[in-house]
Structure 1
Amino acid sequence: MINSSLIDKYRVAAPRYTSYPTVPFWDAQRFDKNKWINNLITTVRNSTEGLSLYVHLPYCESLCTYCGCNTRITKNHGVEIPYINAVLKEWEIYRSHLGIKPIIKEIHLGGGTPTFFSPEHLELLIDGLVNPSDLHEDAVFSIEGHPNNTTDEHLILLYRLGFRRISLGIQDFDKKVQVVINRIQSYRSVERVTRKARQIGYQSINYDLIYGLPLQTLTGLGKTIQSVLRLKPDRIAFYSYAHVPWIKPGQRKYTEEELPSAEMKRSLYELGRAKLIAGGYSEIGMDHFALKTDSLYHAQLNGQLHRNFMGYTEQFSTVLIGLGVSSISDCWTAFAQNVKNVEEYMSVVSKGELPVTKGHILNDTDLVIRKHILNLMCRGYTSWKKPEEMHEKVDEGIKRMKWLAQDGLVMLSDHDVRITPYGKRFLRNICMAFDARLWASQPSTQLFSLAD
């Protein structure tokens, strides 16, 4: 039973916690690029687990107005090779700093639209990343694709290169919604890519769906979920639409009157969640669902689920190197983000410099809180039984947890906190209780989308 008063109470701007501290609370003014590089080198050399690579490919042929990603809209495919050369140059710079042959455990191509790039050019990119490196025996390659331009040639070549996972952006099959968000693809095109990928041998297919889009209705979303269930992807990311027009002007293409009300948005989520669970999917952390045959489900079951800037993954790594414009890197003790402008990115890299523009070096307090928030996001609980798990800022978070416990969102004891089944709906709010930097510096302007 949905408690509408709790929904209203916790409908506040909240981070998605792909990192801690979250980007708006990075201490960017004190960030030292050289210290970032030294921290990265230390972590890589002390690790045997291998590193993850995220490559941001920003180009799209048209603007999806809902999108919050860093994109560059163009139909000029002449941009492909210069951009790939810049990414490979950046990877070369990183390898020269590391001074050792890196072990790659994971590669994810995101965007933008990675399948904007031709199969041949993607092969150049992957060969340029892999050939100077060693591959971990459990290495996993994945790519995001648009159903309309992911060709059979893409799927065949990428599979030959080692890709076994593909994520398709769908959002909604409702034609009215597709038109207003400028994201039009047919059920048939999604079915084509899905069936071909399975025929080739891809092990995991993900669909991205969004609730809270303009003109979205319960009837329309219900039909979308039914269509998705017929195709039975291995994973589903069911995201809340983040309305941030002050950051993404494309979202001004429609009015707030066209967005579902807070009550309707919650109903859309509950409808989608119920249908997915009834369809055989298990809830994974926040916003994600997976079949019991998928590795993401087993990772959660075995306590091995991990979360980073790419979202949820079963590939734990203390090092994530982000390549390409706006990409974010993480070496566990420090974060760094690349410049967000394509021309500036390519100019800096051409000079043999890392295109890092800002970052954050985690202090001891950050590291303790990061662990607790990661536990909540991935395991649904965290404990402070050991001295290294306790801190005065953690104690402050525990006190805030008492209010959440009174509302039935968590079960709190003297040494741990566990999220209740109902509390899963409020995961972002629960993590906020431990977010010391947010509580110490309440922003004067809205930084995050609403937690609904």
Structure 2
Amino acid sequence: MTRVLPRVATELLQRYDVPGPRYTSYPTADRFVEAFTGEDYARALRLRRATATALPLSVYVHIPFCESLCYYCACNKIITKRHERGAAYLQYLEREMALHSAQLGVGRAVSQLHLGGGSPTFLSDGELAQLMVLLRRHFNLAPGGEYAIEVDPRTVDAERLAALAALGFNRLSFGVQDFDADVQKAVHRVQPAQQVFDLVAEARRLGFDSINTDLIYGLPRQTPTSFARTLEQVVELRPDRIALYAYAHLPERFKPQRRILNADLPSGAAKLAMLSQALEALMGAGYVYVGMDHFALPNDALAVAKRQGRLHRNFQGYSTQPDCDLIGLGVSAIGRIGPTYSQNAKTLEAYCDMIDQGQLPVVRGLALGRDDLVRRAVIMAIMCQGAVQFESIELAYLVDFRATFATELLALQPLVEAGMVTVDATSIQVTATGWFFVRAVAMVFDRYLQADQNRARFSRII
């Protein structure tokens, strides 16, 4: 399987390496509308409160602050060295939680918590402890849940890792991106490899259930040779999970990327070579290719979920948790409750202003229609299981699959001929080759995308 992509890439890349959504949701966030308001969101929360059989929640908390700017970053962040801003932000998070509890009720079970950013470790140990107290005051963090935090290696030491473990976090994600010194300088994120190795060793000693590292290929001054060295170091580091992202250079959308010179970026052929190297190196070292940009050791919960067909996908990527509702807290955070999506205000000023007015800080979202729900089920089955069983969709949504998706089944034929999918009387199956282009398979069923010719706002598939 490690050699599938290098063999087919030359004939498929030009056709299918196109901009496309990552499908952390369907419809995708670019389809959210301002007509969906905080009151619509509150109504969805109240409806969930009345549903006695609701599954445990997932909660995402966005901490937007960073001390320094990484030039590649496309996240919603605030660059500041004023750490007192963290304390003020926590006060608003507490008020936002209270607004949720007023609609949803206090003590709803949570089985998955993720702190992202920005840099959550911008907050002090005391502030993180305060945040966990607030979360436990409004929610019931279930025993055995997945409680994860994104960690900037430059902001923590062994003592801070011990504090995170004591607070109940059992999963860490270290932002590595690349170990090469020239690449680190080019993206304004210098962190010695030994620092990361020491932190991962300490995290293992402390007993964290799963340790993830993020890598990016396609960064300025990266070459296949330099990235091969980084891959060797990552294999030696041996984290439980690896997220391997393709850098999407969209300077017209993300101002920090304007500091990156186009001349420093690797060519498309070099990016493909780096992806090929990564697939061979990581799977050759025993990692399971979970899908798209995720790898995991065979005994990691993510790889186990993939084998057992229990993989799910939410706004944080692949997940082992059931397809549950998601509460998004903080600036720009996205949530999902029942057949709705919502997003908070994207600026700190607007977010705080809405909370000061006693309003849930939702500025846009979407209430899904019947067609959206059916297509979401199909797209998530493709993205997570690599297969769609027609009967399961027909029973769940009372549709005739072949009649409903006649146009899409016809549009799949080029992918069938390319060896990316197989289609028979009862199902669609993504092949080993197709897994590397799974977004292209899912895009066929995206009604909004097929009607939209402006796809440049998305990252490329490869």
> TM-score band, normalised by the shorter chain?
over 0.9
Find the partner of 1:213 among 194, 219, 223. 219
Residue 24 (structure 1) aligns with: 30
Residue 38 (str. 1) matches residue 43 (str. 2) = yes
Residue 4 (structure 2) aligns with: none
Q: Is the 8 A contact 1:209 1:237 kept in 2?
A: yes
1:368-379 correspondence to structure 2 within 5 Å: 368-379=374-385
**How far, CA to CA, are the matches of 1:373 and 1:138 in structure 2?**
29
Matched residue pairs, number? 450
**How far, CA to CA, are the matches of 1:222 and 1:45 in structure 2?**
54
**How far, CA to CA, are the matches of 2:323 and 2:333 in structure 1?**
17
Greater mean deviation of Cα atoms: 43-52 or 333-342: 43-52
Matched letter for residue 187 of structure 1:
A
**How far, CA to CA, are the matches of 1:135 and 1:305 in structure 2?**
21
Q: 1:415: how far off?
A: 2.4
Q: 1:112: how far off?
A: 0.4
Find the partner of 2:290 among 284, 289, 299. 284
1:21-420 correspondence to structure 2 within 5 Å: 21-26=27-32, 28-46=33-51, 47-385=53-391, 386-387=394-395, 388=397, 390=400, 394-420=405-431
Matched letter for residue 439 of structure 2:
R
Q: 1:24: how far off?
A: 1.6
**How far, CA to CA, are the matches of 1:220 and 1:327 in structure 2?**
35
Q: 1:44: how far off?
A: 4.8
SS of equivalent residue, structure 1 residue 131: helix
Q: Is the 8 A contact 1:142 1:164 kept in 2?
A: yes
Q: Is the 8 A contact 1:338 1:345 kept in 2?
A: yes
**How far, CA to CA, are the matches of 1:366 and 1:236 in structure 2?**
31
Q: 1:415 to 1:157 in 2, by over 3 A?
A: same
TM superposition score normalised by structure 1: 0.96
**How far, CA to CA, are the matches of 2:247 and 2:64 in structure 1?**
20
SS of equivalent residue, structure 2 residue 155: coil
Find the partner of 2:8 among 2, 12, 20. 2
**How far, CA to CA, are the matches of 1:128 and 1:76 in structure 2?**
23
Q: Which runs of 4+ in 1 moved over 4 A?
A: 389-393
Q: 1:432: how far off?
A: 0.4
SS of equivalent residue, structure 1 residue 250: helix
Residue 13 (structure 1) aligns with: 19
Q: 1:60: how far off?
A: 0.5
Where in structure 1 are there 5+ consecutive unaligned residues? none
Residue 423 (structure 1) aligns with: 434
Q: 1:393: how far off?
A: 5.3
Where in structure 2 are there 5+ consecutive unaligned residues? 1-6
Greater mean deviation of Cα atoms: 382-391 or 140-149: 382-391
Q: Is the 8 A contact 2:36 2:363 kept in 1?
A: no
Q: Is the 8 A contact 2:62 2:117 kept in 1?
A: yes
Q: Percent identity?
A: 38
Q: Is the 8 A contact 1:53 1:108 kept in 2?
A: yes
Matched letter for residue 129 of structure 1:
L
Q: 1:390: how far off?
A: 4.2
Q: 1:229: how far off?
A: 1.0
**How far, CA to CA, are the matches of 2:356 and 2:202 in structure 1?**
39
Q: How big is each residue's C-alpha offset from its partner over 1:231-253, in whole Å with a ceiling of 9 and x where there is no partner?
A: 11000001111111111111111
Greater mean deviation of Cα atoms: 45-54 or 290-299: 45-54
SS of equivalent residue, structure 1 residue 207: strand
Q: How big is each residue's C-alpha offset from its partner over 1:100-138, in whole Å with a ceiling of 9 and x where there is no partner?
A: 531111111000011111111000001101123223233
Greater mean deviation of Cα atoms: 344-353 or 15-24: 344-353
Q: Is the 8 A contact 1:145 1:166 kept in 2?
A: yes
SS of equivalent residue, structure 1 residue 296: helix
Aligned CA RMSD, in angstroms, stands at 1.5
**How far, CA to CA, are the matches of 1:346 and 1:405 in structure 2?**
51
Q: How big is each residue's C-alpha offset from its partner over 1:199-256, in whole Å with a ceiling of 9 and x where there is no partner?
A: 1111100000011111111111111011111111000001111111111111111222
